[in-house]
Structure 1
Amino acid sequence: MRAALAGDEAAYGRLLRELTPFLRTIARSGLARAGRGTAEAEDIVQEVLIAVHTKRTSWIPTEPLVPWLRAITRHKLIDHLRRRGGTGHVDIDDLSEVIAAPTDEPGIATRDVVKLAEGLPAGQKAVIHAMFVDGKDTKDTASALSMSEGAVRVALHRGLAGLAKMLRGTV
């Protein structure tokens, strides 16, 4: 994470790939404690990875990384459980041979975000692109788009909410 914060993109990619199984384990454990199936774990992992990306500069490099990650995962798990309420789930473990395995092809998630962001207002789309595609932090995005940092955070929040609605099909 320290190398990633210093601008090492390869280290950042490795970090996210290596964190994913760890985050998946925490999410599955939390879902099991809540009496839920583990099929929802991937949704939580994706939300955590987005939060890690957007909040990575809030991690204090002199502090341990794991407690910071566990806190984010805990909050995303709680948010997920609140949103889902008492709805049932479909256990897809029996379909694992039918469902295609994830690939390591780089850029798919970025292309998906860019494609989905086309449906957002221009300001939100620009902020999403700057932060998720170009990898800029809030300060650099604000400077590049001639916005205040607060306006960038609001546009990011609204843009992510819009993307979530699109993914849920509620737009």
Structure 2
Amino acid sequence: MDRSEHDLAEAMRAASRGDAAAYTRLLRDVAEWLRPIIRRELVRSGRSGADAEDIVQDTLLALHLKRHTWDEARPIGPWIRAIARHKLIDTLRLPRGRGNDVSIDEFGDVLVAHEPARPALERDVERRLDALPPGQRQVIQAIAIDGLSIGEAAAKFEMTAVAVRVALHRALKSLNSTAGVT
């Protein structure tokens, strides 16, 4: 095992003992380690490297949820790479063009155009927001409805600004796909 994997393993062991700073460091270091690997694999597979951050975030979430499955007597690198590989494969299985990037400014025009049908629109917005995972829903609520900044939302939910941006991006992407925007 190389030095960086040794450091990751030590950080994971410390995190398992309750060291929050070690856990934060572990997640940051894993993300930095995986980004170029995942981006390279996406490009090698004929995909844009733009999905790399989503895959990294999905991998970090899986690491968090499955951290109890890592055997401390075994190297951590293969365990992390296996989780990342599965997240990458999940993404590659999705059809190309599965999402559309739509500027939030475009939604404003749609909302103004439908102003007379506001009660129906409000019900539709509520229904779509309710379909989001709780974390994404709370970020959308805080930023788009309550008017909080990214920093304010991060402080409110005890998240990093990057995590808030990722949740906001994913929520907008989900809302976009359920709206049938092409």
With the shorter chain as reference, the TM-score category is 0.5 to 0.7
SS at match of 1:56: helix
Match in the other structure for 2:33:
22
* Aligned match for 1:54, one of 65, 90, 115: 65
Cα distance in 1 for partners of 2:38, 2:56 equals: 7
Match in the other structure for 1:156:
none
Cα distance in 2 for partners of 1:4, 1:18 equals: 13
Match in the other structure for 1:86:
96
Identity of counterpart residues, as a percentage?
45
Greater Rg by CA = 2
The TM-score, its normalising length taken from structure 2, stands at: 0.51
Is 1:9 the counterpart of 2:17? The answer is no
The amino acid of 2:17's aligned partner reads A
**C-alpha displacement of 1:81:** 1.2
**C-alpha displacement of 1:115:** 1.7
Is 1:63 the counterpart of 2:74? The answer is yes
* Aligned match for 1:41, one of 20, 35, 52: 52
**C-alpha displacement of 1:19:** 1.1
Cα distance in 2 for partners of 1:114, 1:59 equals: 31
**C-alpha displacement of 1:25:** 1.4
Indicate if the aligned counterparts of 1:26 and 1:73 stay in contact, CA closer than 8 A.
no
Is 1:73 the counterpart of 2:84? The answer is yes
Match in the other structure for 1:168:
174
Moved segments of 4+, more than 6 Å: none
Match in the other structure for 1:115:
138
**C-alpha displacement of 1:87:** 2.2
Q: Which runs of 5+ in 2 are unaligned?
A: 1-11, 101-133, 142-156, 158-169
SS at match of 1:13: helix
Aligned residue pair count: 107
The TM-score, its normalising length taken from structure 1, stands at: 0.54
Cα root mean square deviation, aligned:
3.2
